[in-house]
Chain A
Amino acid sequence: MGVPAKVGFYPSWWFKNYGISFGRDYFLDPDYRVDAKMRMDHLLYERFGDIGLGTKLPKPEGYIDYGMVLLPEIFGCEVVFADDAQPWAVPLNLSEEQILSLEAPDILQSPVMQRVVAQLSHLEEKYGQITGSLNPTGIQNLALKLRGDELYIDYYTNEKVAEKVLEVSTQTIIQLGHFLRDRLGILAPAVTPMAPPEMFIAPNCTLAQISNDTFEQFLLKYENRLAAELHPFGIHHCGKGDELAPGYAKIEHLDFLEVGPKTDLPRLRSHLPRVFINARIDAVRLLNLDQAEIQGDVREIVDTGGPLNLLSMDAVGCEFGTPDANIRTMLQEAAFYNGKEASA
């Protein structure tokens, strides 16, 4: 019982501190990635082993990672790689006609997916069990990659197009979800380290940009389809995540919700009393604030996000320049509350 807490580091932290590149090779060359993962595990141990991070003598493991670009690339999005950032899929900005004639691809027939499957086979042969997973993309996140920002106009002026692109996105995500469950049995780690690995997590980052009314009108039925097909089911938000709490409360099988900084946790909890919540500490605040302020952020999550048996926290995307002391403070403060509750 307590408040689990973890930290994660953005590619720039790795690249600028240690020269580990997250460029094309990291995602397309499985042996490069396995080696990089071992180096990262060991470097974390050297730097933060005293607080339980990293591994002293890491062993090679069949680690898969394809950023957040797999499904967009299957649809034809250009992918831009960078040494110090996650890869980015350039939106296709498909026309109304192109969307109306769009069909969900058979992802296993896609050359992009076949290359990923070949990576999985290589990793299994060489290293045994696969670790890591593939990010499945959220419904609206994927729809925006296909239609571009025009999707938001479609919500008001062209419901047929909006529904079509959301439908195609949903069908495609469900295919990938089933593939991941059947082939790997591991889904969540590609989105968040805080959910049970077997859980399907829908990355809903862009839903912070829409109202609850729009969510319920357009997206709720698709989210429910994902949840019905792929539960146990959770949702990830990078940023503020309470606006859609009334709509999320209508999702059957919602087991886990990850929300970012500035989320009104009491409001969220009032709508979702039995959902496990992971609250993210603001990586920018970790970068810029002092230790007392970080303690305050942790305390606020503990005070407002409970019950503690349904709460965790993490700080992912820690940037180059983030003081090590702030990372230690965050984890130690969370551990303090663990102890406090255990003794209560």
Chain B
Amino acid sequence: MNVLEQIQQGVISYKPPAVKAACELALSEGLEPQRIVQEGLIAGMAVVGGKFRRNEVFVPEVMIAARAMQAGLSVVKPLLSHSEVKALGTVVIGTVKGDMHDIGKNLVAMMLEGAGFHVVDLGINTAPLRFVQAVQENAAQVVGISSLITNTLPSMKETIQALQQAGLRRQVKIIVGGAPVSQAFADKLGADAYAADAAAAVDKVKEMLGLAV
């Protein structure tokens, strides 16, 4: 098993210390930092994402795999040149106003980071204007809006309206998700995409930005 495979395996088997050690080893062997990120960390996270989609792993496994990836990134990131750290895109993500649930949103954020996106996580109970500000401040290409309870579905609509009123709607793609959300509801809202789970969210964001899935 070469060192990139060791990194992948460390992410897939949920071992943050092993991933960190393998990344240090890879650097000492002269591998380029960008290659370590792409072919080691992100490749490992992609495997975990696939398993999550197939119900082979669950929330704790995605969280610990993301933790393992972060452990590796902490070693590699300082050595990436500015041009190399260019993310696939910037995604502003948050749970809508009135909704305190965050684990689904957190999973999506982790998976997007794992896929190479810059994620601006606004947390829970996020007012529509906060989404607008974050898009403007970060020149985001994508907005991810999460809602776990039916009661807060109208907040999704208000958030999209706020982006429209701020003149940002053409600038950003909007993806929605959460337990009570469906493709039909997303269509009704005028969202660009709906994702049923965190792994699907990564594919949909890539699709919307014209990136290879």
Residues of A within 8 A of B (CB): 10-12, 80, 82, 84-85, 88, 90, 149, 152-153, 155-157, 209-211, 214, 239, 243, 283-284, 287-288, 317, 319-320
Contacts and interface: CB of A to CB of B under 8 A. Distances in A.
Given A85-B98, A149-B103, A210-B58, 18 more contacts: A84-B151, A85-B151, A88-B100, A90-B100, A152-B63, A152-B64, A153-B63, A153-B64, A153-B67, A155-B60, A210-B59, A211-B58, A214-B60, A243-B55, A284-B179, A284-B182, A317-B150, A319-B151
A288 B150 CA distance: 11
A243 B56 CA distance: 10
Contacts of B16: 157
Interface of B: 14, 16, 55, 57-61, 63-64, 67, 98, 100, 102-103, 106, 149-153, 179-180, 182, 184-185
Contacts of A11: 151
26 contacts: A10-B150, A10-B151, A12-B150, A12-B151, A80-B100, A85-B98, A85-B151, A88-B100, A90-B100, A149-B106, A152-B63, A153-B64, A156-B61, A156-B64, A157-B16, A157-B64, A209-B58, A211-B58, A214-B58, A283-B150, A284-B185, A288-B182, A317-B150, A319-B151, A319-B153, A320-B151
Q: Chain B interface secondary structure, helix, strand, loop or mixed?
A: helix
Contacts of A210: 58-60
A69 B151 CA distance: 18
Nearest to A12: B151
A191 B60 CA distance: 26
A284 B63 contact: no
A202 to B, nearest CB: 19
B60 to A, nearest CB: 4
B98 A153 contact: no
Contacts of A319: 150-151, 153
A12 B103 CA distance: 23
Given A90-B100, A149-B106, A288 B60 contact: no
Nearest to B66: A153
From B63, B67, B150, B152, residue with most partner A Cβ within 10 Å:
B150
Contact of B61 (A211, A287, A317): A211
A247 B67 CA distance: 27
B100 A152 contact: no
Nearest to A243: B55
